Amino acid sequence: MLSLLMYLVLCAVSDTAFGERELKLVTVLYRHGDRSALRAYPKDPYKETAWPQGFGQLSLEGMRQHFELGKMLRKRYRGYLSETYNHNEIFVRSSDRDRTLMSAQVNLAGLYPPDQSHAFDPTIKWQPIPVHTVPSKNEMLLVFPLHDCPRYTALMNETMDTDIYHNMTETYKTFLEMVANETGLGNVTVRTVWKVQDTLFCELKHNMTLPKWVTSEVMEKLGILSDFSLRILFGVYKREQKCRLQGGLLLDQILKNMSAVAKLDSKEQLRMIVYSAHDTTVAALQEALNVFNGLQPPYASCHIFELFKEENGSFSVAMFYRNDSRKDPYQLTLPGCDLYCPLQDFITLTKSVIPVDWEKECQLDINVKEKDVIIGLAVWSSFLLLVVVFLSMLLCRQRDPANCCSRNMN
308 CA to centre of own chain: 25
- What is each CA distance from 82 to 24, 33, 302, 363, 367, in whole angstroms? 14, 25, 21, 46, 55
Question: Do 141 and 159 lie in a common domain?
Answer: yes
What's the Cα-to-Cα distance from 351 to each of 112, 258, 280, 286, rounded to whole Å?
Answer: 36, 15, 21, 14
DSSP string, 4-62: HHHHHHHHHHHHTTTTT-EEEEEEEEEE---B--S---TT-S--GGGSTT-TT-B-HHH
Residues 6+ apart with CB under 8 A from 304: 26, 27, 28, 319, 320, 321, 322, 329
Neighbouring CB atoms inside 10 A of 193's CB total 24
| Distance set, CA 242 to CA 192, 292, 353 (Å) | 19, 14, 8
Per the domain annotation, does 63 fall within a domain? yes
For each of the chain's 410 residues, which pLDDT tens digit applies?
A: 434 334 333 343 333 344 589 999 999 999 999 999 999 999 999 999 999 999 999 999 999 999 999 999 999 999 999 999 999 999 999 999 999 999 999 999 999 998 877 778 778 888 899 999 999 999 999 999 998 999 999 999 999 999 999 999 999 999 999 999 999 999 999 999 999 999 999 999 999 999 999 999 999 999 999 999 999 999 999 999 999 999 999 999 999 999 999 998 776 689 999 999 999 999 999 999 999 999 999 999 999 999 999 999 999 999 999 999 999 999 999 999 999 999 999 999 999 999 999 999 999 875 544 445 444 554 455 555 555 444 554 444 444 443 333 323 33
CA distance 312 to 300: 36
Q: Is 278 among the catalytic positions?
A: no
- Helix residue ranges, H only, 235-365: 239-245, 247-264, 279-288, 343-349, 358-362
Do 246 and 395 share a domain, yes or no? no
Instruction: Say whether both 260 and 168 belong to one domain.
Output: yes
In sequence order, the β-bridge partners of residue 93 are: 132, 275
> Is residue 334 included in any domain, yes or no?
yes
In the DSSP assignment, the letter for residue 78 is: B
Strand 272-277 and strand 90-94: the pairing is parallel
Q: Are residues 270 and 145 in the same domain?
A: yes
Q: In degrees to the nearest 10, what's the CA dihedral of 116, 119, 124, 126?
A: -110
Residue 283 confidence (pLDDT)? 99
One domain for residues 221 and 309: yes
**204 plus 120 within the same structural domain:** yes
Q: Containing domain of residue 57, as a range?
A: 17-360
24 and 93 share one domain: yes
Q: DSSP 3-state assignment of 166? A: helix
Give burial (CB, 10 Å; 0-12/13-18/19+) of 337.
middle
Amino acid at 64: R
The beta-strand segments (E) located in 261-329 are 272-277, 302-309, 315-322
Residue 330 within a domain? yes
Choosing from 32, 66, 278, 303, the catalytic residue is: 32
Catalytic one of 44, 198, 252, 279: 279
Q: What is the pLDDT of residue 359?
A: 96
Counting every residue written for the chain, the total comes to 410
Shared domain for 143 and 48, answered yes or no, is yes
Q: What distance in Å separates the CA atoms of residue 122 and residue 117, rounded to the nearest whole number?
A: 10
**Cβ atoms within 10 Å of 17's Cβ, excluding its own:** 14
The answer to whether residue 5 sits within a structural domain is: no
Count of structural domains within the chain: 2
142 and 195 co-located in one domain: yes
- Bridge partners, 81 (sequence order): 78
Would you say residue 410 lies in a domain? Answer: no
Contact between residue 74 and residue 97 where contact means Cβ atoms under 8 Å apart: no
Tell me the C-alpha distance between 131 and 72, whole Å.
Answer: 19
Cα-based distances in Å from 193 to 15, 178, 314, 367: 49, 12, 47, 35
The values of phi and psi at residue 32, to 5°, are -60, 170
CATH number at residue 198: 3.40.50.1240
- pLDDT at residue number 19: 57
Where on the phi/psi map is residue 75: left (φ > 0), alpha (ψ -120 to 50), or beta?
alpha
Q: What angle in degrees, to the nearest 10, is found between the helix axes of 173-183 and 163-171?
A: 60
Q: Are 100 and 276 in contact (CB under 8 A)?
A: yes
Q: Do 211 and 332 belong to one domain?
A: yes
pLDDT score at 269: 82
Q: Are residues 338 and 372 in the same domain?
A: no
Kindly state whether residues 173 and 273 are assigned to the same domain. yes
**For residue 39, which of 189, 202, 182, 219 has the smallest C-alpha distance?**
202
How high is the pLDDT of residue 373? 41
408 located within any domain: no
Domain membership flag for residue 4: no
Q: Is 8 part of any domain? A: no
147 catalytic residue (yes or no):
no
